A and B are shown apart, each in its own frame.
Chain A
Amino acid sequence: MIKIENLRKVYSDNGYEALKSINLEMNEGELVCLLGPSGCGKTTILNLLAGLLDPTSGDIKFDNDSVINKHPKDRNIGLVFQNYALYPHMTVLQNVMFPLTVGKNKVSKQEAETRAKKYMEITNILELADKKPGNMSGGQQQRVAITRALVQNPKVLLLDEPLSNLDARLRLRIREEIRRLVKEIGITTIFVTHDQEEALSISDRIVIMDSGIVQQFDIPQNLYLEPANLFVAKFMGNPIINLFTAEKNGNNLTTKDFSINLNLLTKDRFKGELNKGKYIVGIRPEYFVLSQSPLFNVAIESVELIGKDAILNFNISGEHVKSITDINEKIQENQTVGFDIDYSKIYIFNEDGTRVY
């Protein structure tokens, strides 16, 4: 449906290379999130898709047709902005009708109103028709903005951080609503966000971006379970993954305070040969497990309770480490406990961040 080929964007005014070489392919009716820290290029991709920016090189195809030289209005897209961009001097109905009353897609006023009301019924905002955006809550404005984007019956819906202006509880509700709505209509949707929880909860697939490069494009659970590289491993997960620098000596990966016997690792998870040299070992907090025959013993510095789990903080190999255990273990501050590692769940990265295990 959408095919992005070798897309590169350098901003001409300051020479900033926002996108290096992006290749992505999205399917009809799919809900894809562009996820990444600010400045990673995700909004640039959205603007390029919408035609609000011109790429430096590369191509974008909708249904195998290049849209690079097409004006935004000819691309058949709907766009929702972070601040909604509702026109404050128009009522909700007028806002939703607006795309049908301008440019070459102009239809008669009567028809515009009928079509607007049809979509307003789907998004449940019919009763707001005569209100002005200034008198509405963020959630309501959000719905109006989405309705306005849908009213031209576009093939692609682009959402630019649509939830970041809403309070936490509303955000949960609206994101479910958005997913239900776009799935009901069956429209291909691209959703930009910097909130991983948001992305994980609503997407079919997620594009993780950093410094103008696609780091990984995958289904949500794979991003967590099988990160393609160090960036993704660090970006996904909360508390964040624990990282140790280690050196390969014979059959052991040695950190300052403990070492990992490579024979204990799962053979088919290796992506390549481990040569002599330095590596980064990544261990998620839940894969430090309490053990009677521990790999190392350590004194717990502090304990944070988060519901059914407890986060144990301690120092080892010069790193501050967080580990998650069941609250029933009843571990106290200053208590010394023994830890082992779940070797089938850890990651090993080269120093440049590529994953080798």
Chain B
Amino acid sequence: MEKLNSFIAKGFVVFMSIITLFPFVYMILASLMTFQEATSIPPTIFPEVPQFENYSVAMEQAPFAKYFVNTVFVSTVSTIGTLITSILAAFAFVKLEFKGKDMLVLGMAALLMVPYEVTVFTNYQTIAQMNLLDTYSALIIPSLASIFYIFYLKNYLTSVPISYYKAAKVDGCGDLEFIVRILIPLIKPALFTMAILSFISGWNSFLWPILVTNSTDMRLLSNGLSSFATESGTHVHLQMAASTISIVPILIIYLVFRKQIIRGVVKSGVKG
């Protein structure tokens, strides 16, 4: 019985892994196919002859180097911004006493329910009014703070005993000093997870950059992928090649930090 159970459990894990991994594997396989193979019905799984030149052709289709620089820059700045604003906000919510705190928490929790698409229009209006369209500021400013991460950190911070804060206060430690010297080292795993999730979502953002930018100079990687869609149909094989290249940096980040990511996710029960 126990053997059967463990067999079923393992089978389930394998099944779920296949479902999760198949798109990635197929992306890589398709990036090595000819156009005919990629669009044939029934679909081809393995390319007959791997078409490595797809990669170089794909790279010429759009200024991917520029996109890459843009994406790294925008994702990094907005991640750092999100970290700073979330730490300060979560600290205030958990360790400070001020009037209207409960109302503020409630209001922010309510905002958490508003779908992203609803805020897109008002955000666009704001950015347009500020004459920031087609600039890095337009890409970065809306993602400098995130209610989701504030709540995520807030939960994490409640597990830091209030006596740490009180002890530090009696020792003459200011709030900022406390955050830098005590809080940040203690919540490092959470910050790591947060930074990486935020970086990934910056990396993958598609809708917002395409709305607020017009020039190719300002576009991001994921926008570049749509340039393979032409009037005569989509060059699937080239798109897949470009996609493969665009996820490589994220994969590298994951491989380097996988211990920290998993620790943070396991501890908080949040998945990206």
Residues of chain A having any CB pair with chain B under 8 Å: 50-52, 72-73, 77-79, 81-83, 85, 87-89, 98-99, 102-105, 148, 152
Asked if B177 contacts A102 (CB within 8 A), the reply is yes
A73 CA / B167 CA spacing, docked (Å): 10
How extensive is the interface on chain B, given as a class? 10 to 19
Shortest distance from the beta carbon of B32 to any chain A beta carbon, whole Å = 48
In the bound complex, residues from chain B placing their C-beta under 8 Å from that of A52 are 166, 169-170
Residue in contact with A89 in the complex, picked from B166, B167, B172, B185, CB distance below 8 Å: B185
Per-residue CB contact flags for chain B residues 157-174 toward chain A (1 = under 8 Å, else 0) read 000010110111111111
Asked if B161 contacts A152 (CB within 8 A), the reply is no
Asked if A85 contacts B167 (CB within 8 A), the reply is yes
Asked if B186 contacts A88 (CB within 8 A), the reply is yes
A210 CA / B139 CA spacing, docked (Å): 61
Asked if B166 contacts A104 (CB within 8 A), the reply is no
**A88-B186, A89-B185, A103-B177 in contact; A98/B171 too (CB < 8 A)?**
yes
A73 CA / B168 CA spacing, docked (Å): 9
A50 CA / B169 CA spacing, docked (Å): 10
Asked if B166 contacts A102 (CB within 8 A), the reply is no
Asked if B161 contacts A73 (CB within 8 A), the reply is no
Residue among A50, A82, A102, A105 with the highest chain B CB neighbour number at 10 A: A102
In the bound complex, residues from chain B placing their C-beta under 8 Å from that of A103 are 171-174, 177
A102 CA / B182 CA spacing, docked (Å): 11
**A52-B169, A102-B181 in contact; A85/B174 too (CB < 8 A)?**
no
Per-residue CB contact flags for chain B residues 57-90 toward chain A (1 = under 8 Å, else 0) read 0000000000000000000000000000000000
In the bound complex, residues from chain A placing their C-beta under 8 Å from that of B177 are 102-103
Asked if B172 contacts A73 (CB within 8 A), the reply is yes
Per-residue CB contact flags for chain B residues 33-65 toward chain A (1 = under 8 Å, else 0) read 000000000000000000000000000000000
A103 CA / B174 CA spacing, docked (Å): 6
In the bound complex, residues from chain B placing their C-beta under 8 Å from that of A148 are 167, 171
Given contacts A98-B173, A102-B171, A102-B173, 20 further A-B contacts (CB under 8 A): A72-B169, A72-B170, A73-B170, A73-B172, A77-B170, A81-B167, A83-B161, A87-B186, A88-B186, A89-B185, A89-B186, A98-B181, A99-B172, A99-B173, A103-B171, A103-B172, A104-B172, A148-B167, A148-B171, A152-B172
